Amino acid sequence: MAADTTAVGQDRFITLNGLRTHYVEWGDEDLPAIVMLHGLRSYARTFEPLAQRLGDRYRVLAPDARGRGESDWDPRGEYYPESYVADLEQFTDRLGLDRFVLLGHSMGGTTTYVYAARHPERVGAAVVEDIGPGSSQSGEGAERIKREVANTPRDFPSREAARAYWRGIRPHISEDALESRVRHTLAPDDEGRWRWKFDLAGIAAARLDPDPARQVDLWPYVESLRCPTLVVRGGKSDFLPATTMAAMAQRNTRIHTVEIPGAGHYVHDDAPDLFHHRLTRFLRSSEVVR
């Protein structure tokens, strides 16, 4: 009997720009495609609960970004927006995705803005979760993430200690989301210590001491979007200011905005039901269906 890809998701691998890249696929190949891009210290299966709810109507594809999860670490430390966009370009080319929905959270949202603006013929609709111009460069949320990255322990003496760490910096996510985060971001080594499944040193270097020339101003990309775009902000988010989200909608009438009450930066983890509701409502709208 064939595996239920709607519920479980299939682990697959592909080489992108010389790096072996892991991705997960839910749903049938003949369904409309949604590509989901995770955030800075996240992983493909962070979207698993959402993908399971969409898998009967969509083919959901979620890659582990370079340096995360089961994907190769980049020996050159190329953890910058242009590298993630280049990986996505090869990913969509190799899989023959001529027209699809693109969804990105935080870091993945930056990739979404840039890719969608550069490839309007391929992105039928875009969804961006809790990031906008300037979010990664300044403000309370940007400083918080820098502190978190700088103070991230190299490893933990036990799974329980790792779980306590994640709960401490992600207090609003559900128990299921917390268990998923521990399971997919850490693994025990030969000595029984729990170590990260992402390139902490390389990612930290790019985030804490970035090459100014490699930073990206998102405003030109936001203004040039040609597809219907939904921007979702967590009501308690410190990363995407409400004023920035409003300015985005003013500058580009194709941008629709929604705020999810009670959610922080990880909206899909903090308020999964409301996030799913708002997403499907947007995808079923006449503007997107057209």
Give tens-digit pLDDT for 114-125.
999 999 999 999
| Whole-angstrom Cα Rg for the chain | 18
Question: What is the rounded average pLDDT of the residues 241-253?
Answer: 97
pLDDT digits (tens, 9 = 90+) for 26-38: 999 999 999 999 9
CATH class, domain 10-135+213-289, is alpha beta
pLDDT digits (tens, 9 = 90+) for 205-232: 999 988 888 889 999 999 999 999 999 9
CA distance 25 to 8: 9
Question: Cβ–Cβ contacts within 10 Å for residue 143, how many?
Answer: 11
Distance of CA 3 to the CA centre of its chain: 26
**266 φ/ψ sector (left φ>0, alpha ψ -120 to 50, else beta):** beta
Token pair, residue 271, equals: 């308020």
Helix orientation angle between 200-208 and 140-150, rounded to the nearest 10 degrees:
140
Helix orientation angle between 107-118 and 81-94, rounded to the nearest 10 degrees:
60
Residues whose CB is less than 8 angstroms from the CB of residue 33 and which lie 6 or more positions away in sequence, other chains included:
58, 59, 60, 61, 97, 99, 100, 101
Which of 109, 137, 117 has its CA nearest to residue 266?
109
Q: What is the pLDDT of residue 3?
A: 45
pLDDT digits (tens, 9 = 90+) for 15-64: 999 999 999 999 999 999 999 999 999 999 999 999 999 989 999 999 99
Q: What is the pLDDT of residue 108?
A: 98
Q: What is the pLDDT of residue 2?
A: 44
Residues whose CB is less than 8 angstroms from the CB of residue 270 and which lie 6 or more positions away in sequence, other chains included:
172, 173, 174, 234, 260, 262, 263, 264
Q: Are 155 and 188 in contact (CB under 8 A)?
A: no
Domain ranges of the chain: 10-135+213-289
Token pair, residue 177, equals: 């989301």
pLDDT digits (tens, 9 = 90+) for 141-198: 999 999 999 999 999 999 999 999 999 998 888 899 999 999 999 999 999 999 999 9
